Amino acid sequence: MVRLMRRILAAVVIVLVAAGVALAWLNWRVHQETVTPLETLNSGGTAGRVLAVLSPGLSSFPADVMTAFDKGLAEKGWRVDHTTASSEATTDIGAYDLIVLAAPVYFSRAAPPLQDYVGRVGDFGGKQIAVLVTAGGDPAEAVAATKALIAAHNGTLAWIYGYAVYEPNDPDGKYEGSNTERAVRMAHDAALALAGTLP
C-alpha cells in the first residue's frame, strides 16, 4: 500500500511540475507576436476594402475560421488585406471600409497580441469592425470583454461572434461536419451575410 502511494505521489508530482512548466512557457508563448507580410485576397475587388488582422494562437482553429470569413467577403467582391497582429502590422486604417479582428481566447480574454494591436491603433475613428473569437468553452465572457475593448477604442461593432471547440456551435444542426468544421462554415456564411448589410 505504501509503495502504491509512493508511486501515485511520484506520478502526481511529475505531472504537476510538468503542467506548471508547460503553462509558464505557454503563457510566454501566447504573448509573442507572429509577424507575417500583408497578403491580399481578391485584389481586384471593388465592393469595399477590408483589413483582416489575426492573432493565430496555438492551434489552427482561429486561422481556419478567419480564412473562411475572408473568403466569404472576397466572394462578395471585397478586397481583403490579411495580416497578423504584431507591431509590424499596419495601423494606418484610413483606406479600409471594414476591419476584421480574430483571435483565440485564453482565460476569457482575446489573445494579448490582438489586444496590443487594438491599443496601437488607438482610435478606430468609428470604423466598422467585425470580430471573431475562438474559445475552448463558452465564449460569452470573451465576447463581452472584446465588445468593451472595441467601444473603448471608438470602433463601430458591425458584427461579433464567438466560436467554441468544446461547446456546440450549431445547436440547430443547420451545418454538417464536426463542431469546428461547422464553425468554419458558419464564419463563411456570416461573412456573406455581413457583406450584404454593410454600406
Partner 1 sequence: MTRRTPFLLRASPDLLTGLRLALAPVLYLLIVGGRGDAAAACLALAMVTDALDGPLARHFGVASRAGAHFDFWADFVLIEAVFSAFAMSGAGPWAIPLLTAIAFGFFVATVRLTPAIYDPIGRNIGGILMGSAFSVLALRDLLVAQAAFMVALGALTLTLCARAAFVAGAVRRSAP
List contacts with partner 1 (CB under 8 A).
7-8, 10-11, 14-15, 18-19, 22-23, 25-27, 30, 57-61, 64, 104-107, 134-138, 164-169, 178-180
CB nearer to partner 1: pick between 48 and 62: 62
Cross-strand pairs, 84? 54
CB nearer to partner 1: pick between 86 and 108: 108
Residue 67 CB, nearest distance to partner 1 (Å)?
12
Residue 64 CB, nearest distance to partner 1 (Å)?
7
CB nearer to partner 1: pick between 75 and 167: 167
Alpha-carbon distance 23 to 8, whole Å?
22
Residue 123 CB, nearest distance to partner 1 (Å)?
30
DSSP 6-53: HHHHHHHHHHHHHHHHHHHHHHHHHTS------EEESTT--SEEEEEE
Alpha-carbon distance 108 to 146, whole Å?
10
The count of other CB atoms within 10 Å of the CB of residue 177 is 11
Q: All 3 cell numbers of residue 22? A: 508547460
Residue 126 CB, nearest distance to partner 1 (Å)?
32
CB nearer to partner 1: pick between 125 and 177: 177
